[in-house]
Structure 1
């Protein structure tokens, strides 16, 4: 079982049955985010794997469609098995913990949150641009590992004198993340392309409404009550955020329906489903 989209060379010739898990094909959709030679190597491995694997596991329907489109693979050869999502974000943190995290990170009074590596593909600059069209008391907290793209985001923040409204947090321990989610008013996830989009589910479990972007699997992760905008539409992003801030009509109903939707990803018995795939081959 190749867990990362590839199989050992020569395994088919050895007569061994094979399964491969493919998480995403971002290098096909957005090669501009990769080194040229890397995209060629990844593509070669992908095409070879599609031909040699007996079964393919995709982590979302979106990834399945991509495998069919780019690899010419029959849908009958592909099994969709969603990642299992922990329910830890559903547990409400104590008031003491919330206050400690708020003080330790000097969090704003009112903020929306973004969680994920701060890289160009994840497109957090769109949320920063949208912030210029939101009330001054609303801030944006960006939680994630920095990359060179972070400098581009910070340059926009400085150019628009928004340093007091945009906070970057790097190296946040996992145990503090639920509190950061829970004290936010909403989550924004403007990624251009994902294989699944786990932070959306974490945010919904934390009791937040979510605004995300169209074009990949995010509608699959967030369901109908998440609001989706085009990944270059800053005005649309701002208008969507206004619809989910505290006090917006229908906000609580939106959250409740979203939490009902994401139950399909909780306690997902991945092991049994993978075993079922193995049994198809035995």
Structure 2
């Protein structure tokens, strides 16, 4: 399967054989089942791995064939895991000789959701999140879920969504409402008041008047509450940098949702930084929702 053949309704999950990817696969299977969507298991063999030469001088293609075969084995094992869960989910696989970031960004253009484990394997695994996860947190074209298992000793309190200003508010809230409804969880809507004194590293930040934003948030929430009457909603108003507030509150949540603006250099820097900071430090699964231009 190539990127062009991924159905628009698919949920794509990255497969690399790591424990974190295995946990992400389990979450993605459940998500595909509750949303009644097909699931795509994706694996990439990078060009760096393809260029291989052993001490005897064997052609590099031997190494490429070995890694491609291992990739198919990984995908086969992942498919078997899905079938063991007897979820009824339709499963497809995608394997390409390319950089994993290139494959997954390409697949995100047609997917409904992209799911990754919180850590990768190999050279990129030395980072807190991994370069693949960082790239996708900043550039995936569909909602991205970075799955990090929550602390089993702590009771979970549903879905938490962070809102910041009016632009894109509806898109992020709708995603959060839908996930709460699908998984029958309560929803917490958190708005943070922040400025240079709160962030310290973002010179473009400016204080936000919570009292002015409060009715805008309430109006959006009221409309979505009519659409999703099964979702119980509460508000949380926090003082501080949004990423810090969300990470702190997210330690008690099943899923944390944050938006990422895609237009404007300044907006991209600010919001992608928030999204990256959240996915690197949160102690629960995080969804990053791209916000389209008006």
TM range (shorter): 0.3 to 0.5
Calculate the TM-score normalised by the size of structure 2. 0.36
